[in-house]
Structure 1
Amino acid sequence: MKLLLSIIISLIALHSFGQKYVISGYVKDASSGEELIGATILVKETNAGIATNYYGFYSVSLPSGKYTIICSYVGYETMNKTIDLSKNTNFDFVLEPESELIQEVVVGAEALDKNITSVEMSVQKLTLKEIKAVPVVFGERDILKSLTLLPGVKSGGEATGGIFVRGGGADQNLILLDEAPVYNASHLGGLFSVFNADAIKDVKLLKVVCQQNTVVVIICIRLKMKDGNDRKLSVSGGLGLISSRLAAEGPIIKEKSSFILSARRSYADLFLKFSQDTLLKNNQLFFYDFNAKANIEFNRKNKLFISGYFGKDVLKFQEILNMGWSNTTATIRWNHLFTNKLFLNSTFIYSKYLYETMASLQGNSFELSSGIKDFNIKEDFTYFLNNNNTIKFGLQGIHHTFSPGSYSFEFGGFSYSEKTPSEYAWETAFYIQNEQKITKNISINYGVRLTDFILIGEYTAHSNYNDQGIPQNSKYYAKGEVVKNHFDFEPRASANFVINEENSLKISAVKTTQYINLIQNSSGQTPIDYWLPANEIIKPQYSYQYAIGYFKNFNENMFETFIEIYYKDMFNQIDIKDGGNAFNYGYIENELIFGIGRSYGAEVSVKKVYGKYTGWVSYTLSKTEKKFDELEKIGWFPYKQDRNHDISIVGMVQISKKVNFSTSWVFYTGDKITTPSGKYLIDGITDVPVYTERNGASSKSYHRLDISLTLNLKAKPGRENTLNFSIINVYNRRNPFLTYFAAMEGVDNGTMQAHEVSLYPILPSITWNFKF
């Protein structure tokens, strides 16, 4: 830490010699006023270059003189500006799209050679056009499902919401919407994601770390909502077979303030009302979500953004079952320029996830609820020291409220209820990093994060459990009293060695820590999973990850290729013990086992970025294993999502100005499963299965072909009127969704037989999309 601060202080001292002036400003889209993230600013005379930050801001330091500043962004006309620099100067670049067609293809893209020149690695993006073109279930554009087509990213399976990256679990993914965490990003149990693509401006996947946030150990998915068109009013939407969406955006004060509103709802429940079957008529199965955002520019130095999201799922089967889960987020963000070189993003964030279920049958009933709520304050600074050094530093504080669960039931005249008290924690972090250009061809990024997690009362800690699962020792902590304090030091570094304009070599090493844990019965993220904090028994998860990558572009950056090799050690991993009960909220520590994990592999990608034919091929070769002290006889065993081979092929072709075709094919080896070899009887009645090696077998391999055809109907310039036809699972592959075991018929020796349940048959869909 002292060495890092000494380096930064020395850089600032050296910078004080010699008079320099600053050119700074924003890069914007001329048609909407949206800031462009990652636009390239190049000084022709010095060949010095810099990219706009996550908020579209840039800053370049130069001696006095006359310069030509070149601003470029994929899909937009390059803009040149000659500036006679004799004082600090503000200038905003407003870029015109090259054409309506090209703009639609590449919106959300960055510089074509950024994968070569940037020090970032293990970072990937999809443009919104690519996301909209990928064939998806029922034609509903799905951001998270599209990300699973990238190398190193594994889907939890059909109708499963979990995403697994480089051996991490579903809880090791931080998904941010306008910097607010979304704890369950799935609708209808994983059939769709909660993000409406019409409201999203930028999507970025970081496989290693999200520097400015404290609650992630493996990956970060950052989604930024559109700010809203501050030039003109527009309305867009889509009408599909089971859901529809609508969005409106426009100026509040032209070129000063704007808004966007979007809404989406499924309507399978509405069709059920027309059923003649009374058992179906009163059932409900639907989701809805709503996005809203507004912003205002007070002056060049101050901008205010307010955004929010609410989404809910409802599943009701007569009076027997009633389930619901919801996400709520709110973000207030203030951008402030102290000087032309010091940028501040202040953020206040609220996030809440809630799950509830009720079941009743023949006089017996059951109720269950759980949730998590956060209040979060962040201060993120960017200091453009000079053209070779950009320093980022900041503070963050989060107040967590964990509601692990409450449940009650009535059975045979007997009733019982229990509510586990809410648990509270403070999480704080400080980070500092510097992105430094050593020479023309060598760049490094180095930094450190200091994190602190304090579990506070009111709280009762249990320990020393007996064979019946009853704690022999308990200690009560009063409200506000410190229960447990965890602290960690997280260094990180990466480097880029540019070999030439088309080749580069990158390396990275990082330590990350996570203080909250997802307790789950299943492999994927389901509504009944719940979150718990680190305490005296549940230790914080942490990992060390190392990666090396070779990046190469071809044909004037038309083709992007890379191969990354990684290795990761994971510590304090958590699982439910054999026969454990995840719903034993009060004594959950006694239901868990703790261990270590390791994951290693290679990720390969070949992507065609522009032209009539675009798309990519990705391949992941990986191995993930876990080891738990309580299962020491087993030793290392495969993780459930240990799919050794994972292939995705995505292709898009513009057949004509009115016809676009896209296809995707995926293949991956089956999930690991634990199989029973037989069963035995207790008291001659109860069947008890006898299991073999943990995760010692694999389910059937998964592969599927999807296609999509989009027809551009007559529409005026700047408007959209399209019909999309999609077919999911073209050759009707019966892929495994669930594997269960039952005794073989006609055999009395207890032999068990595997049975696989498939979910998706051939699924055609049609969607009408519009914009005016």
Structure 2
Amino acid sequence: MKYIILIPVLLIVFSSAFAQKKFTISGTISDKSTGETLIGATVRIKELPQSGVATNSYGFYSISAPQGLYTLLVTYVGYETVVRPDSLSQNHTVNFAISQQNALNEVVISSNRPNNNQIVSPQMGLEKLNMSQINNVPVLMGEKDILKTISLLPGIKSATEGNTGFYVRGGASDQNLILLDEATVYNASHLLGFFSTFNSDAIKDVSIYKGGMPAEYGGRLSSVLDIKMNNGNSKDFTVQGGLGLISSRIKFEGPMGDKGSFMVSGRRTYLDLLLKGSKDTTLSNSTLNFYDLNAKFNYRFNDKNAIYISGYFGNDNLGIQDRFGSNWGNTTTTLRYNHIFSNRLFSNTSVIYSNYGYTMENFSTQNNFKSTSQITDLNLKQDFQYSLSDSHSLKFGINVLHHTIAPGNITANGTSNTNNKDVEKRYGFENATYFSDTWKASPKLTVEYGLRLSNMILLGPGTFNTYDTNGNTISSNSYGSGSLVKNYLNLEPRFSASYQLSEASSVKASFNRNTQNIHLLNNSTTSTPTALYVMSDNNIKPEIADQMSVGWFKNFKDNAFEFSAELYYKNLQNQIDYRDGAQLNANQDVASQLTYGSGRAYGLELFLKKKYGRFNGWIGYTLSKTERQFDSINNGDYFPASQDRTHDLSVVGIYKINKRWSFSSTFIYATGNAVSYPTGKYAVNGITTFSYSERNGYRLPANNRLDIAFTLEGKEHKKYHSSWNFGLYNVYGHKNPYTITFQESETKMGTTEALQTSIFPTPIPSITWNFKF
């Protein structure tokens, strides 16, 4: 790892020795009314058209040029452009506080700069959403939801109707890295997947990388969903929130002295309170609720030093009278320290804690037991950003991550016939170091290249078995505390490039390799809180994905419209599936229940987006194929993965009717998921048993749905603002299939019937009152 770190150090030394004498302007860009730093705001020198740079996750920028008189231009979508003359004769700091535009006749739905950033940037497969956009998209029960909104983008597919799980370019749901202020969120769902864990009031920025991932990200194969929380209003104390049909939320934020700010946001559902009024005693004595709390505090000591502390705490409780109970939740804490060494060198040091766990209890007198599972991470990151010159921008750093996994213990109580099962904990380090350089090779060509070195170390104590291809034990070894069990080292090259064909169009290409050492074992087609996480070990190898993509990008109508067409091909190694009849939970020998293979995914993504005006929105379409291959499944032949969908179409429209009323709508159409249907049946002791042939050889019926919403803004007041949102989910009541099961007909002996289950077979209305003062 030390050799990768030496690369940027040597580049810095040689550039200092031989580069033309230049000076640097650096600083931060923030919102004038709130003090919130702006991510992705652009600073460029008018006299040097190729000089543009974007602010990082903390609003910091750095731009260099030879000595001279220049004009600085600062732009950010939805904000007024700032023009400032500057005499550059020495390194100096310039901070900008910019104001939002008073544009009541339009809804801006992109956080990219209002010029040709999509054309110039070498980054592929990146989609950015701002909260104004997310808050305008109609969703189930009126709960504004990040995960449901990103599933409307090309290449990203929702798991099932109403579920927050998602698949990216043929990957499985656990192959997405979800970060909240750099902390990993392992289960991003509430109420068994109907809502996500992310309260939109607390979120500032959302970016999802589908391909061409920068070298600073790693640990998952398919995507990175990077979510940043609000820092808090450093100018005024404010309170905002909303009251909905099933949940309410509230947020407090304000300054802490003259150098800091805070933000605290909470949300809770009250479905359980509604159940209390039911005449059915089973329902009235049941539990069904979730809560989450986001908090962030920051303090800027001076222009060069700042500290940030943020956290998320969320939990779900589900129980039916005296039958069973379940609760699960995430806890994350992030401590970050920013230091600016010079006008060119920016440092961020992070200490991150993440925990996910669940408890499930069965209260039956015959089978009373409790099952628990937990995964805990402690992470240390050091990242640097160095503006080497006006042509080179470097990023490099190191990451040390410790995992502790306690998989699925079962404790029996009372007269239970269930045996206690105490599965050994697993410990390991997942370390990485990386380097990347964004190089403006010419006025038309920009290249981003990098390398990530990842290292998985599995440690004792514990007993580790090795299994053959049939799941039989061939060896068993015991290791003491801290002893090395297995070590995997992988190089992950990253490359992407953009070549401008004109001011308004470009072609791009990228290649990246990713590895994954944390694996989700789940023999359900949907995300469940009781799914089991395991580390790579002597049986389970790191998953590897190589993705290649090419694309054409075009802006037109003065950058009001953006169009892109991307082709991708992904090759997957060491994929994991479960054997028929596998027992995954509370199983010390869980690796014996698994089988290993490969996969491939390829497709075309088309995306047309209108960013400005009274009417805007987007159309996204994906044509794709996703397959898996296992020697022990489907006779060793390739078969469609469960998430394989040939066609996926989404249409989103937002229209500003007048000063107070706006209308939004979404329409989706998607090929049904691949499923396995029975091809025959036979009777055993009078019980009908179905037999299956090929894996995923059939399809569920296609999904389609129309959702609409109206927003009424309250009358203008100096001290407060309110709005009403009225929504209708599944307008025409289409019965989208959730599952199809087969059973013997009760009316026609010897006849098998297919039974389709739809979760939302009728339109679902919603109403939410939002307020801020």
**Normalised by the size of structure 1, how large is the TM-score?**
0.96
Confirm or deny: 8 A CA contact 1:143 1:193 kept in the other structure. Answer: yes
**Normalised by the size of structure 2, how large is the TM-score?**
0.96
| 1:163 and 2:198 are equivalent in the alignment | no
The equivalent residue for 2:728 is 727
| 1:611 and 2:648 are equivalent in the alignment | no
The equivalent residue for 2:368 is 365
| 1:292 and 2:298 are equivalent in the alignment | no
Confirm or deny: 8 A CA contact 2:107 2:613 kept in the other structure. Answer: no
- What SS does structure 2 have at the residue aligned with 1:590? helix
Give runs of aligned pairs for residues 553-564 of structure 1, distance below 5 A: 553-564=555-566
Tell me the CA shift for residue 268 of structure 1: 0.8
More displaced, 11-20 or 53-62? 11-20
The equivalent residue for 1:680 is 682
In 1: Cα distance, 2:226 partner to 2:165 partner: 16
1:409–1:679 CA distance, 2 compared to 1 (3 A): farther
| 1:441 and 2:444 are equivalent in the alignment | yes
Tell me the CA shift for residue 348 of structure 1: 0.5
Tell me the CA shift for residue 112 of structure 1: 4.0
- What SS does structure 1 have at the residue aligned with 2:590? helix
1:464–1:518 CA distance, 2 compared to 1 (3 A): closer
| 1:280 and 2:283 are equivalent in the alignment | yes
| 1:139 and 2:139 are equivalent in the alignment | no
Confirm or deny: 8 A CA contact 1:161 1:526 kept in the other structure. Answer: no
Spell out, residue by residue over 1:25-73, the C-alpha distance to the aligned partner (whole angstroms, 9 max, x if none): 0111101111111111111222222111222111111222222111111
| 1:476 and 2:478 are equivalent in the alignment | yes
In 2: Cα distance, 1:222 partner to 1:281 partner: 40
Give runs of aligned pairs for residues 402-441 of structure 1, distance below 5 A: 402-409=405-412, 414-441=417-444
Tell me the CA shift for residue 103 of structure 1: 9.4
| 1:264 and 2:264 are equivalent in the alignment | no
The equivalent residue for 2:42 is 40
Give runs of aligned pairs for residues 169-568 of structure 1, distance below 5 A: 169-208=172-211, 209=213, 211-254=215-258, 256-409=259-412, 414-464=417-467, 471=473, 473-568=475-570
Spell out, residue by residue over 1:167-189, the C-alpha distance to the aligned partner (whole angstroms, 9 max, x if none): 10011000000000000000001
1:10–1:432 CA distance, 2 compared to 1 (3 A): closer
| 1:126 and 2:129 are equivalent in the alignment | yes
Confirm or deny: 8 A CA contact 2:221 2:544 kept in the other structure. Answer: yes
The equivalent residue for 1:709 is 710
> What's the % identity of the aligned pairs?
42
2:239 alignment partner AA: V
Spell out, residue by residue over 1:135-162, the C-alpha distance to the aligned partner (whole angstroms, 9 max, x if none): 1111111011000000000000123232
In 1: Cα distance, 2:114 partner to 2:469 partner: 61
The equivalent residue for 2:755 is 755
In 2: Cα distance, 1:769 partner to 1:574 partner: 45
- What SS does structure 2 have at the residue aligned with 1:585? coil
Tell me the CA shift for residue 427 of structure 1: 0.9
**Which structure's relative contact order is higher, taking Cα pairs within 8 Å and 6+ residues apart?**
2
More displaced, 98-107 or 357-366? 98-107
Spell out, residue by residue over 1:174-228, the C-alpha distance to the aligned partner (whole angstroms, 9 max, x if none): 0000000000000001111000000000000101235323322210000000000
In 2: Cα distance, 1:618 partner to 1:145 partner: 14
More displaced, 194-203 or 40-49? 40-49
Confirm or deny: 8 A CA contact 1:304 1:334 kept in the other structure. Answer: yes
Confirm or deny: 8 A CA contact 1:159 1:191 kept in the other structure. Answer: yes
1:731–1:565 CA distance, 2 compared to 1 (3 A): same
Aligned length, in residue pairs? 768
In 2: Cα distance, 1:108 partner to 1:251 partner: 25
In 2: Cα distance, 1:207 partner to 1:71 partner: 28
In 2: Cα distance, 1:372 partner to 1:6 partner: 35
1:718–1:500 CA distance, 2 compared to 1 (3 A): farther
1:216 alignment partner AA: R
- What SS does structure 2 have at the residue aligned with 1:146? helix
2:116 alignment partner AA: D
In 2: Cα distance, 1:567 partner to 1:466 partner: 29
In 2: Cα distance, 1:466 partner to 1:434 partner: 43
Tell me the CA shift for residue 117 of structure 1: 1.4
In 2: Cα distance, 1:164 partner to 1:643 partner: 11
In 2: Cα distance, 1:353 partner to 1:102 partner: 44
1:495–1:582 CA distance, 2 compared to 1 (3 A): same
1:453–1:718 CA distance, 2 compared to 1 (3 A): farther
1:268 alignment partner AA: L
Spell out, residue by residue over 1:674-720, the C-alpha distance to the aligned partner (whole angstroms, 9 max, x if none): 011222233x2444321021100000100000000001121325843
The equivalent residue for 1:92 is 95
Confirm or deny: 8 A CA contact 1:153 1:164 kept in the other structure. Answer: yes
- What SS does structure 2 have at the residue aligned with 1:198? helix
In 2: Cα distance, 1:472 partner to 1:364 partner: 34
In 2: Cα distance, 1:709 partner to 1:299 partner: 45
| 1:693 and 2:720 are equivalent in the alignment | no
In 2: Cα distance, 1:746 partner to 1:141 partner: 45
More displaced, 469-478 or 597-606? 469-478
Tell me the CA shift for residue 608 of structure 1: 0.5
Structure 2 gap ranges (5+): none
